[in-house]
């Protein structure tokens, strides 16, 4: 339904690429979780897919039925609706913009309201809705054109756990209906919960992309070890060479951080460290999850 081929975009000729050679594909009934630190290029990528920007190199290809007007919908992170209007009036407006009217419009509005559970508050002004209701309205507007491709940008920001669970369940239902969804978020657990595939993007490039299980299986976990006696420089060099001690990883509190590749057992690593550095007094073992993978790929440095 969607294919990006080596897409590039930058805001000025002398600026670095905001999107740098991204190639992705998305099929029916698939959720692609899009992760990246602030300023990584996620929003630019979404804008390129939504047609708000034209790629300066490469191509964005939308296949039927997403290619027709209303065939895809962008649901921005902001509350992109009119607070003075009621929920229904907002939906009527966007239905009108899509050229829907009469019975067809009424049916689509009813379906969109039902999809996000807004029937009971349809006549309430958007400004008077809670944060959770506003998020649902934001999504409902995206659904009014019955799109087959949905671009969801941080759709659960600022909502309570109940609303978040409802929204995630709604996304699952939409996927089950055969819609393709790009789901951009900072919440790893959400992407982990609903993403069929995950793409991690940073500095405009896709660092990794694939089914979550595959990514985690190939990932390197981190192990932090505290030994009884602080190692000197010579010992640190041996630990780095023989046990994978991460460069500059000794914190003020004396924890040593080691990489644990998928093919190596934790037991083996601890045995080797003990042999070189003496008794181990504490161990912290990062499990292989999406957040750990994300931090490994994008590093710990603060972004915007």
Question: 92 or 257, CB closer to other proteins?
Answer: 92
Following DSSP, what letter does each residue of 3-69 receive, concatenated?
EEEEEEE-SSTTSPPSEEEEEEEE-TT-EEEEE--TTSSHHHHHHHHTTSS--SEEEEEE-TTTTST
Is the bond preceding residue 65 a cis peptide, omega within 30 degrees? yes
Cβ of residue 165: shortest distance to other proteins, in angstroms? Answer: 24
Which residue, 145 or 244, has its beta carbon nearer to other proteins? 145
Q: Which is nearer to other proteins, 48 or 215 (CB)?
A: 48
- Of 134 and 288, CB closest to other proteins: 134
Contact 8, 57 (CB under 8 A): yes
The CB-of-51 to other proteins minimum distance in angstroms stands at 6
- Judge contact between 49 and 151, C-beta under 8 A: yes
User: How would you list the strands of the sheet with 221-227, edge to edge?
Assistant: 255-260, 221-227, 280-285
95: alpha, beta or left, given left = phi > 0 and alpha = psi -120 to 50? alpha
Q: Nearest distance from residue 80's CB to other proteins, in Å? A: 4
Angle formed by the axes of helices 131-143 and 161-176, to 10°? 10
CB of 101 to other proteins, least distance (A): 4
Find the shortest distance in angstroms from Cβ 302 to other proteins.
Answer: 26
What angle (nearest 5°) sits at the alpha carbon of residue 33, between those of residues 153 and 158?
Answer: 40
The least distance separating other proteins from the CB of residue 79, rounded to whole angstroms, comes to 6
For other proteins, give the closer residue by CB, 92 or 196: 92
Residues at the interface with other proteins (CB under 8 A): 47, 50-53, 69-70, 72-82, 84-85, 89, 92-101, 105, 141, 145
Q: Using the minimum distance from each CB to other proteins, give the nearer residue, 74 or 225.
A: 74
């Amino acid at each position: 339904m969607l294919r990006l081929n080596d897409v590039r975009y930058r805001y000025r000729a002398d600026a670095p690429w905001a999107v740098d050679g991204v190639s992705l594909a998305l099929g029916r009934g698939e959720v692609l979780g899009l992760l990246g630190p602030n300023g990584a290029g996620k929003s630019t990528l979404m804008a390129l897919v939504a047609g708000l920007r034209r790629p300066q190199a490469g191509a964005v290809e939308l296949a039927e039925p997403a290619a027709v007007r209303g065939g895809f919908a962008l649901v921005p992170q902001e509350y992109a609706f009119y607070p003075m209007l009621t929920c229904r009036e907002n939906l009527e407006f966007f239905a009108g913009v899509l050229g829907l009217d009469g019975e067809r419009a009424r049916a689509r509005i009813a379906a969109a309201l039902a999809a996000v559970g807004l029937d009971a508050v349809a006549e309430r002004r958007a400004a008077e809705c809670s944060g959770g209701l506003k998020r649902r309205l934001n999504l409902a507007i995206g659904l009014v054109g019955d799109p087959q491709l949905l671009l969801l940008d941080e759709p659960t920001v600022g909502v309570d756990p109940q609303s978040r669970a409802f929204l995630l369940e709604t996304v699952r239902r939409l996927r089950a209906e055969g819609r393709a969804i790009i789901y951009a978020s900072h919440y790893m657990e959400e992407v982990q919960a609903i993403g069929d595939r995950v793409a991690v993007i940073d500095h405009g490039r896709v660092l990794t992309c694939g089914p979550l299980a595959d990514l985690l299986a190939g990932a390197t976990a981190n192990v932090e070890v505290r030994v009884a006696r602080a190692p000197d420089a010579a010992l640190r060099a041996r630990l780095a060479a023989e046990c994978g001690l991460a460069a500059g990883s000794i914190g003020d509190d004396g924890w040593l951080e080691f990489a644990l590749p998928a093919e190596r057992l934790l037991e083996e690593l601890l045995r080797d460290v003990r042999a070189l550095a003496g008794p181990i007094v504490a161990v912290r073992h990062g499990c292989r999850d999406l957040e750990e993978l994300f931090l490994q790929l994008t590093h710990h440095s603060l972004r915007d």
